[in-house]
């Protein structure tokens, strides 16, 4: 027989009733932290905090794709062989492939709205790289320059952002 | 470079014919506190069994089912793992095997594909394709964030946390590449909200003008709220059978063909590739397509997954010219732009001329090949796991000549607490024989194209 000292107690917080008609609706709070690895792409994210943009290239001479990948991949999707890292020369200047102006963002957004999201073509890169613009406005075909959040980094993709290149001085490193 | 080889391009083939015979829907709404998930599925299941003029009783039909494909987009929303077990139990179908299907916005289409494969292979004579979503479990902005987990979490999700922001760059690029105006986009929204007005199931019916759409608040430029679907609670189910059972159950079966395609989660990773041609197309048609700098196919303008699915589905169904041979289509208009992009992928227009499908009038009720007479996602629903099933059912009912039965009966409107509009009109396509629907995920990561053919 269980002793009185071992009574099972309720230690939770009663669920808040949000409405009771036409049916009972309760609040069910969730607060979770996932552990997420950057895996073999860790050099890329470390590079951002150091002001460097790292891409990957397939090292297999038999493979048909020898352009750079950005976002990088550790393994080539065409021949499935490991790729090697390569840093893009500074300043990193790209061409606006397309863009959007985010006005209404989802929960947890870490940027002040409205802001421009930008998809950038980079020389020698087979993919198009998505980021955000720190200031200014965009047009397709315009030049933009990569900048890095090396001080107080977020340790996320938000550590790289773009600024418009309107004259030669802007293009300097 | 993606190079497709002979094996990749092998046309899927059923081992025996597959038929759709019945469907059921729910009242689609943003927040449905009066019913739990499985209770909503029961509403759709009952409509499917009881109101589709089937020649056996609901209990007899249940006795024929020996496979379930269950579509659910996100465990995040349901906050309940193994919903499939709860639903199968609740419908009284235990211990029949149910497989959970998950391919984002294309979940409904993939669910029908899975059920069809079960019938085609002989695993089942009668299979149920059932799907649902309860998106009201969280507030809208949290829901937006959940859905944005269907963008790449390392490189994209943090850049907006809302899916409109992954389609908006496509809208900007498409407008630049193929000369699409905001007015044409707005016309898609006006059309689909209007068609939703005639549907008792619809969540966002409305008689809007082009100006209303253009004046509505901006979600992500250039996409406005009236151009976007909303969060939905709801379910849908469709009954599939082999040939013998189909004619035993109904006088109006439709033969089903369905196939899929997939592409990178990130649009950015879509390298230029050769366009797989549809039966009515030639390589010459696309010689000048990439005339502007930086252009690639499918790029930000088109969806290789949709093209690949259509490439297969047309050949499975023997369709050689979609615009001429299809009597109606149901497309995945999660956003006006995704709807328009798809016109090229499925060959309603050649690539680069997509806006003309709307501007010519072909896409309207009295046009050559009307689209989204159901109200689509913008007007009627996007309870994600159910969507691709709902679209297929609307096609089925059109071919069966039952649009009025399922949309015009005042009792259906009343059962949802709605009143049938005085100016309700029938959107029944006269003598519809073939219909197509597109079920689409992500920014084109997964797409199925289904085709139903009149078999009576």
Dihedral sign (CA A106, A107, A108, A110): positive
How far is the C-alpha of B14 from the C-alpha of B19, rounded, in Å? Answer: 11
Domains, chain B = 19-138+233-249 (3.40.47.10), 257-454 (3.40.47.10)
Q: Is the peptide bond before B222 cis (omega within 30 degrees of 0)?
A: yes
pLDDT category of residue A57 using cuts at 50, 70 and 90? very high
Residue ranges of alpha helices (H) inside B79-106 are 83-90
- Facing residue for B221 by CB, picked from A38, A78, A101: A101
First to last CA, chain A: 77
Say yes or no: A109 contacts chain B, CB-CB below 8 A: yes
- Facing residue for B169 by CB, picked from A65, A117, A129: A117
- Facing residue for A65 by CB, picked from B1, B147, B268: B1
- Report the DSSP pairing between strands B98-101 and B67-72: parallel
Residues of A in contact with B161 (CB under 8 A): 105-109
Report CB contact under 8 Å: B33, A131: no
Say yes or no: A134 contacts chain B, CB-CB below 8 A: no
Report CB contact under 8 Å: A101, B266: no
pLDDT at A1 over 80: no
If you write DSSP's letter for every residue of B255-324 in order, what string do you get?
EEEEEEEE--SSGGG----PPPPPTT--GGGGTTTT-STT--SSTTT--HHHHHHHHHHHHHHT-S-HHH
Residues whose CB is less than 8 angstroms from the CB of residue A29 and which lie 6 or more positions away in sequence, other chains included:
none
Report CB contact under 8 Å: A28, B79: yes
Residues of A in contact with B3 (CB under 8 A): 64
Rounded to 5°, the CA angle B228-B233-B63 comes to: 130
Report CB contact under 8 Å: B158, A158: yes
Residues of B in contact with A140 (CB under 8 A): 172-173, 176
- Facing residue for A100 by CB, picked from B154, B168, B271: B168
Report CB contact under 8 Å: A119, B269: no
Helix (H) or strand (E) holding B449: strand B446-454
Domain ranges for chain A, please list them.
39-171
- Facing residue for B144 by CB, picked from A19, A65, A107: A107
| pLDDT given at position B294 | 82
Report CB contact under 8 Å: B158, A98: no
Measured CA to CA in angstroms, residue A159 lies from A47, A49, A72, B148, B301 at distances of: 10, 7, 16, 19, 28
Residues of B in contact with A127 (CB under 8 A): 266, 268-269, 271
- Facing residue for B269 by CB, picked from A105, A127, A140: A127
Q: Torsions phi, psi of A67, nearest 5?
A: -80, 170
pLDDT at A3 over 80: no
Report CB contact under 8 Å: B294, A95: yes
pLDDT category of residue A166 using cuts at 50, 70 and 90? confident
Q: Which residue on chain A is closest to B225 by alpha carbon? A: A104
How far is the C-alpha of B334 from the C-alpha of B330, rounded, in Å? Answer: 12
Report CB contact under 8 Å: A104, B139: no
Pair A101, A116: CB distance under 8 Å? yes
How far is the C-alpha of A161 from the C-alpha of A142, rounded, in Å? Answer: 15
Report CB contact under 8 Å: B218, A104: yes
C-beta neighbour count of B355 within 10 angstroms: 22
- Report the DSSP pairing between strands A93-102 and A54-58: unpaired
Phi-psi region of B85 (alpha: psi -120 to 50; beta: other; left: phi over 0): alpha
Q: How far is B100 from chain A (nearest CA, A)?
A: 24
How far is the C-alpha of B123 from the C-alpha of B121, rounded, in Å? Answer: 6
pLDDT at A147 over 90: yes
- Facing residue for A23 by CB, picked from B34, B164, B168: B34
- Report the DSSP pairing between strands B126-134 and B67-72: parallel
Q: How far is B33 from chain A (nearest CA, A)?
A: 6
From first to last of its 456 residues, chain B has per-residue pLDDT tens of: 678 899 999 999 999 999 999 999 999 999 999 999 999 999 999 999 999 999 999 999 999 999 999 999 999 999 999 999 999 999 999 999 999 999 999 999 999 999 999 999 999 999 999 999 999 999 999 999 999 999 999 999 999 999 999 999 999 999 999 999 999 999 999 999 999 999 999 999 999 999 999 999 999 999 999 999 999 999 999 999 999 999 999 999 999 999 999 999 999 999 999 999 999 999 999 998 888 888 899 999 999 999 999 999 999 999 999 999 999 999 999 999 999 999 999 999 999 999 999 999 999 999 999 999 999 999 999 999 999 999 999 999 999 999 999 999 999 999 999 999 999 999 999 999 999 999 999 999 999 999 999 999
Pair A103, A116: CB distance under 8 Å? no
Q: Is the peptide bond before B136 cis (omega within 30 degrees of 0)?
A: no
- Count of A-B CB contacts under 8 Å: 132
Q: How far is A113 from chain B (nearest CA, A)?
A: 10
Report CB contact under 8 Å: B271, A127: yes
């Amino acid at each position: 027989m269980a002793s009185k000292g071992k009574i099972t107690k309720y230690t939770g917080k009663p669920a808040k009733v949000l409405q009771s008609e036409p049916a009972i609706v309760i609040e069910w709070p969730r607060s979770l932290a996932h552990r997420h690895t950057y895996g073999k792409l860790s050099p890329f994210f470390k590079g951002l905090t150091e002001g460097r943009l790292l891409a990957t290239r397939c090292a297999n001479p038999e493979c048909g794709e020898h352009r750079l990948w950005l976002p990088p991949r550790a393994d080539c999707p065409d021949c499935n062989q490991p790729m090697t890292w390569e840093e893009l020369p500074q300043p990193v200047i790209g061409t606006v492939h397309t863009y959007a102006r985010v006005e209404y963002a989802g929960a947890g957004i870490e940027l002040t709205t409205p802001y421009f999201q930008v998809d950038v073509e980079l020389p020698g890169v087979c993919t198009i790289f998505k980021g955000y613009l720190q200031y200014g406005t965009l047009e397709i075909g315009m030049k933009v320059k990569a900048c890095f959040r090396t001080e107080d980094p977020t340790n996320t993709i938000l550590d790289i952002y773009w600024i418009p290149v309107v004259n030669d001085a802007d293009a300097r490193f | 470079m993606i190079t497709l080889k002979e094996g990749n391009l092998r046309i899927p083939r059923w081992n025996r014919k597959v038929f759709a015979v019945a469907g059921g829907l729910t009242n689609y709404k943003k927040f449905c506190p009066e019913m739990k998930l499985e209770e909503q599925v029961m509403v759709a299941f009952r409509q499917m069994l009881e109101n589709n003029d089937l020649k056996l009783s609901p209990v007899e039909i249940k006795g024929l089912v020996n496979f379930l494909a269950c579509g659910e987009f996100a465990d995040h929303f349901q906050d309940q793992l193994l919903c499939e077990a709860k639903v199968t139990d609740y419908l009284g179908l235990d211990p029949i095997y149910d497989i959970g299907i998950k391919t984002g916005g294309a979940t409904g289409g993939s669910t029908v594909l899975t059920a069809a494969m079960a019938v085609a292979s002989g695993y089942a004579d009668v299979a149920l394709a059932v799907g649902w979503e309860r998106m009201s479990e969280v507030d809208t902005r949290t829901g937006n964030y959940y859905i944005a987990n269907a963008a790449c979490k390392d490189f994209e999700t943090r850049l907006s946390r809302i899916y409109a922001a992954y389609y908006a760059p496509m809208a900007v690029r498409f407008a630049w590449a193929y000369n699409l105006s905001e007015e044409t986009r707005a016309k898609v929204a006006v059309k689909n909200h209007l068609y939703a007005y005639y549907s008792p199931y619809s969540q966002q019916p409305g008689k809007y003008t082009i100006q209303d759409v253009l004046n509505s608040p901006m979600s992500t430029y250039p996409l406005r709220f009236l151009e976007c679907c909303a969060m939905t609670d709801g379910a849908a189910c469709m009954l599939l059978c082999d040939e013998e059972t189909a004619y035993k159950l109904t006088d109006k079966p439709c033969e089903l063909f369905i196939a899929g395609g997939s592409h990178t989660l990130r649009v950015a990773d879509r390298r230029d590739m050769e366009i797989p041609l549809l039966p009515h197309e030639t390589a010459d048609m696309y010689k000048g397509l990439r005339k502007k700098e930086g252009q690639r196919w499918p790029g930000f303008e088109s969806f290789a997954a949709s093209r690949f699915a259509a490439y297969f589905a047309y050949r499975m169904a023997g369709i050689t010219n979609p615009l001429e041979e299809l009597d109606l289509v149901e497309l995945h208009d999660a956003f006006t732009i995704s709807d328009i992009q798809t016109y090229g992928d499925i060959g309603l227009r050649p690539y680069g001329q997509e806006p003309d499908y709307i501007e010519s009038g072909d896409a309207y009720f009295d046009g050559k090949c009307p689209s989204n007479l159901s109200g689509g996602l913008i007007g009627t629903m996007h309870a994600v796991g159910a969507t691709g099933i709902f679209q297929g059912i609307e096609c089925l009912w059109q071919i069966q000549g039952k649009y009025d039965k399922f949309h015009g009966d005042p009792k259906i409107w009343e059962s949802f607490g709605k009143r049938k509009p005085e100016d309700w009109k029938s959107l029944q396509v006269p003598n519809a024989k073939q219909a197509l629907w597109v079920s689409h995920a992500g920014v084109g990561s997964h797409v199925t194209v289904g085709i139903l053919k009149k078999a009576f």
